[in-house]
Amino acid sequence: MSRLLSDAGVQLPVLAAPMAGGAGTTALVAAAARVGSLGFLAGGYRTAEALGGQMDALRTRNVPFGVNLFAGGPMPISDADHRRYAHTLQPEADRYGLRLNHGTPVADDDGWAEKIDLVMGSDVAWVSFTFGIPGQAVVRALRRSGTTVLQNVTSPAEARRAAEAGVDALVVQASAAGGHSARLSPHRPLDPVPLADLVARVRRTTALPLVAAGGIATSADAAAALRAGADATMIGTLLLRTEESGASPAHQQALADPAFATTVLTRAFTGRPARALRNHFTDRYDPLAPAGYPAVHHLTAPLRKAAAEAGDTRLIHLWAGTGYREAKQEGAARTLERIAARL
């Protein structure tokens, strides 16, 4: 077994990915721990106080866990592009009696300082970062506290940058992953490289432990990633329909609905590339959406929330990786064991 896993007391080389926005829950993380895996709390879109509450709940249950945080600054967007997109989307918002923000774009760092202070002062097994690489001082401080630091990367070049920052391990994310791409330069197109091939390319550039993620649908997919040089694998989309998932009922139903036949990479919802089930929103607005994160996320969030509450799958961000058809209605522990069955 990889030392990366054994040092954290992890027996199952299939981890539960962080899923921001509510899909990831403490119940899901606890279910992963029960079968010898490790799950990540998603710090994104959550206040430091709320994240701390989740961490306390898991500590009370004596459950090991990781935390994922958004790093890097906002992607800038002009006032004119923001107003244009708000105007374009307003007819959809009118359906729900909403007035979108036609004024100044909202740009924030997702409470970075507060969340770093939180994990620095906590006994967290693993902390992973996405969207950006934290400074070396942050990485060193976390490592001194006993935390294993992981960085999400999408290419060998990003892997080299993360290694230079001093992280302990890498989460290698293929473009088939559901939800946001971890790409450090989101203006550049994603390379459609299969996960096992991407892992092999990254392995040739670094000796750091690797966790393979993105598009894993079966135990054979996970095994291929391990053969290519990964120390562990990670799944997210396959957990969206589990009993512990916090994904909306409409999202869960769409994953099994034959009407949703494919996934697409889109920035229509948040201004940053993310993979979702193809729907009206992606078809209509992806060609019109400006790059700009988190401003576009904040702009569309009220509309997406209203649509989710109404079960309107035309307008919901139905995050999904390419293996979404293999997501089952079962306990999360069963899903993790199923993918680990032949490893």
My answer on whether 70 and 144 are in the same domain is yes
The answer as to whether 55 is a domain residue is yes
Residue 335 sits at the vertex; the CA angle it makes with 216 and 309, to the nearest 5 degrees, is: 90
Q: What are phi and psi of 285, to 5 degrees?
A: -110, -15
Q: Which stretches of the chain are assigned E, i.e. beta strand?
A: 14-16, 40-42, 66-70, 126-130, 148-153, 169-173, 179-180, 210-213, 232-235, 263-266, 274-277
My answer on whether 175 and 271 are in the same domain is no
pLDDT digits (tens, 9 = 90+) for 143-200: 999 999 999 999 999 999 999 999 999 999 999 999 999 999 988 888 899 999 999 9
Total count of domains within the chain = 2
The answer as to whether 250 is a domain residue is no
Query: What pLDDT does residue 123 have?
Result: 81
My answer on whether 43 and 164 are in the same domain is yes
My answer on whether 150 and 189 are in the same domain is yes
**Would you give the end-to-end CA distance of the chain in angstroms?**
11
Q: Kindly report the CATH number assigned to the domain that includes residue 56.
A: 3.20.20.70
Helix, strand or coil, per DSSP, at residue 32: helix
The answer as to whether 251 is a domain residue is no
pLDDT confidence tier of residue 3, bands split at 50, 70 and 90: confident
My answer on whether 144 and 36 are in the same domain is yes
Token pair of 272 as six digits: 């940053």
Per the rule left: phi > 0, alpha: psi between -120 and 50, beta: everything else, 203 is alpha
| Distance separating alpha carbons of residues 120 and 208, to the nearest angstrom | 23
pLDDT digits (tens, 9 = 90+) for 232-282: 999 999 999 999 999 999 999 999 999 999 999 999 999 999 999 999 999
My answer on whether 84 and 138 are in the same domain is no
My answer on whether 304 and 336 are in the same domain is no
My answer on whether 133 and 56 are in the same domain is yes
My answer on whether 156 and 194 are in the same domain is yes
Helix, strand or coil, per DSSP, at residue 220: helix
Count CB-CB contacts under 10 A for residue 283.
Answer: 13
Q: Which amino acid is at 177?
A: A
pLDDT digits (tens, 9 = 90+) for 52-81: 999 999 999 999 999 999 998 899 999 999
My answer on whether 333 and 313 are in the same domain is no
13-34: average pLDDT:
97
**Cis amide prior to 294 (ω within 30 degrees):** yes
Q: Which residues constitute the domain of residue 303?
A: 78-108+261-317
My answer on whether 194 and 269 are in the same domain is no
The answer as to whether 248 is a domain residue is no
Give exposure, 56-69, as e/b (b: 16+ Cβ within 10 Å).
Answer: eebeeeebbbbbbb
Sole residue written with tokens 């036609």: 102
% of the chain at pLDDT higher than 70: 100
Instruction: Please state, rounded to an integer, the average pLDDT across all residues of the chain.
Output: 96
Query: What pLDDT does residue 1 have?
Result: 62
294-302: average pLDDT:
97
The answer as to whether 176 is a domain residue is yes
Query: What pLDDT does residue 242 have?
Result: 98
201-230: average pLDDT:
97
My answer on whether 122 and 174 are in the same domain is yes
The answer as to whether 171 is a domain residue is yes
The answer as to whether 91 is a domain residue is yes
Residue 19, CA atoms < 13 Å, CB-side half-sphere:
35
Query: What pLDDT does residue 342 have?
Result: 85
The answer as to whether 255 is a domain residue is no
